[in-house]
Structure 1
């Protein structure tokens, strides 16, 4: 099994000074970390990279050096699972609709996106849409969150919800 941590909208240092312990504990035995944008600083990439290989895309608040390093859209293949990654910001439509539209012409099984800070997991037209939420800025959500994806012969995807004190 390949363990993948999925995170978005860390917004460090504007929303938190550091990544929460609940997240870093899971990162400690991860094989890969996917970040769906709004890192806000390259330091978040370096910290996550200390745990596992880290890939991602940029969001609407990320500086040019992150855009230059990651780009706005990415497709990964892990075993036979094809994963599309995009932040989901833009104008018109909902964040969810923009994420779907970004991969309308691509053959992907899973679309990972962020931007709204609202955790979501649902199937649309044979594809799974997944927003991990935010581990540092829950906005109006009940809890902070991120995702864990396990890929092997099959794949399983779930949210991890937690309170800031954890």
Structure 2
């Protein structure tokens, strides 16, 4: 199972359209996970033309997105549990808030966004993954998104690119 993971699209403020590099990937995926800060439901509608979309709300998402998604979600994919949250809030770092959101749940992977900083590491056998942003790199050298491949295990990777057109 191939999953494209994105967060922090901030559309239309940071981009008028999804980057071509990302669109190419979306055409060949089984599932799309968005870790919040969509900004409008138009992003959801466009992503839905490529594959099934799961996601959570972020701190800049409007009422229409808040009515459609939750603050956190646990997805059951094959034999794995994937926790998804945006990671915004007070105190702690974004990553620590994301981990804390699932501290009482048994998850195999935690996906989060908010910081726009790509993260891929394991902590206590849990994959911690932030895809970065495909439209707003902030202080990062590149735009990015993630790919999860689920088979007998979970494999995660980032895709980095410099041109968001």
Q: Same fold (TM over 0.5)?
A: yes
What value does the CA root-mean-square deviation take over the aligned residues? 0.9
1:2-13, aligned counterparts within 5 Å? 2-13=1-12
Q: Deviations over 1:57-105 (max 9, x none)?
A: 0000000110110110000011111100000000000000000000000
Counterpart of 2:98 in structure 1 is 99
Q: In 2, distance between residues paired with 1:151 and 1:56? A: 18
Cα 1:165–1:43 change in 2 (3 A) is: closer
Aligned counterpart, 2:54: 55
Runs ≥4 in structure 1, deviation > 4 angstroms? none
Q: Tell me, what secondary structure is at the counterpart of 2:18? A: coil
Q: TM-score, normalised by structure 2?
A: 0.98
What is the deviation of 1:155? Answer: 2.3
Cα distance in 2 between the residues matched to 1:69 and 1:50: 17
Deviation at residue 152 of structure 1 after TM alignment: 1.3
CA–CA distance in structure 2, aligned partners of residues 30 and 19 of structure 1: 15
Q: Give how far 1:123 is off.
A: 1.1
Aligned to 1:15: 14
Structure 2 counterpart SS, 1:141: coil
User: What's 2:34 paired with?
Assistant: 35
Aligned residues: 165
- Normalising by the residue count of structure 1, what TM-score does the alignment of the two structures yield? 0.97
